[in-house]
Amino acid sequence: MFTNILETTTGAAISNTSVLICIGVGIVLGLIISLIYIFSDPHKKYSGNFAFSLAILPVIVSVVIMIVGSDIARAISLGGVFALVRFRSVPGNSKDITNVFFAMAVGLATGMGYVGMAVVVTIVVGLLYFVLNRFEFGVRRVIPKQLKITIPENLNYEGAFDDLFKEYSDGCELERVRTTNLGTLYELTYSINMKSGINEKQFIDSLRCRNGNLNIVLCRVPEQSEKL
């Protein structure tokens, strides 16, 4: 079904036309993958540099494969090194790594001459990625927040805010306790799931009445790099 346009007789050189076709297809498919990455993000938080890398990666990998020739094992290893260079300096999440391997797979297929397979893979995987990402498949609807409460040292923090947490949240967990200001204050760090429609100012004001009007910070949980 999928033919190799680079197949030649033993010892024969690859034609210039076939090479140009592979390079051209790699460029087009790289741009398609990059556009899928951009337009599938419902929150428009995509990285411009990463989109650029996805557009270029397939053609780079395909050229490397054609240069290496019939030594497929070495070609795949070399292509993998090129694909993962980005993550040496910038931490990537699992979705970014998936995009890189998507682009690399298309580049490998193109470089080996399986242009038809590369096109089909781009269409099928790209469509699946677009649909899942656009409809936020697997995204948590309730995003936990981080709550930091500073209290005086004479306040027993165990159970001091339980009634407020029950009223304003669907769940709260104490993650860290540390002393500040030479031990005269405690800083409590909670992971909290706020109820929908809750007035956060009212919640914070209620906490201030308990902690002596000391510092309170309510924010999103800092994003961390995911691992596959």
Give the model's pLDDT for residue 142. 64
Token pair of 39, please?
């337009």
What ranges do the domains of the chain cover? 16-134, 145-220
- Cβ-Cβ contacts under 8 Å for 48 (sequence gap 6 or more): none
Closest CA to 151 of 191, 113, 187, 108: 187
Tens digits of residue pLDDT in 85-123: 555 444 567 788 889 889 989 998 998 888 999 999 999
Annotation: CATH topology of 145-220:
Alpha-Beta Plaits (3.30.70)
Q: Is the pLDDT of residue 36 over 90?
A: yes
The gap from C-alpha 129 to its chain's centroid, in whole angstroms, comes to 13
Q: Which two tokens stand for residue 140?
A: 């948590």
CA dist 17 to 6, 30, 62, 166, Å? 10, 20, 15, 70
Token pair 């397979």 in the structure block, residue? 117
Banded model confidence at residue 227, pLDDT cuts 50, 70, 90: very low
Q: What is the pTM of this model?
A: 0.65
**How far is the C-alpha of 201 from the C-alpha of 205, rounded, in Å?**
6
pLDDT on residue 92:
60
Say how far apart CA 78 and CA 74 lie, in whole Å: 6
* Predicted confidence band of residue 137 (pLDDT cuts 50, 70, 90): confident
